[in-house]
Structure 1
């Protein structure tokens, strides 16, 4: 549990996520690049995000402009798996 963010991840979450579905899923990231796709710094969160992305009709990634052309350690998804990308600035 990441108490500072109020989020759960890891084996307990993965064991219970199979019955959770959403119309829209919102996901953060550590980096976005054409080569690596959507990446994250925390492997536990990556596993939960990967599973939840298969349970959402629409996948939305939220990222500020500092995440572009950056790679975090663990791949969450390919860019082609993202339906909507929301950022605060236009990417240049």
Structure 2
């Protein structure tokens, strides 16, 4: 049972829970946290990683922004007769 107190930004999620939300492996989530792309904290005696739900939502929103910017850039590079 997780006795981690609830944070002001919402419940803290384990890396496995984040992986389930994103449909990726725990090791992929760990890599995102290690690189700082996804903000997480190490808590407890064993240094378990947790991610606040609000930080996960921010990460997903940023991923959507990057995807939209990429698509906009690609569409601006298309010849005018291709649209």
TM over 0.5: no
Name the TM-score, length of structure 2 as normaliser: 0.25
- Structure richer in strand, relative to its length: 1
Name the TM-score, length of structure 1 as normaliser: 0.23
Structure of greater relative contact order (alpha carbons < 8 Å, 6+ residues apart) = 1
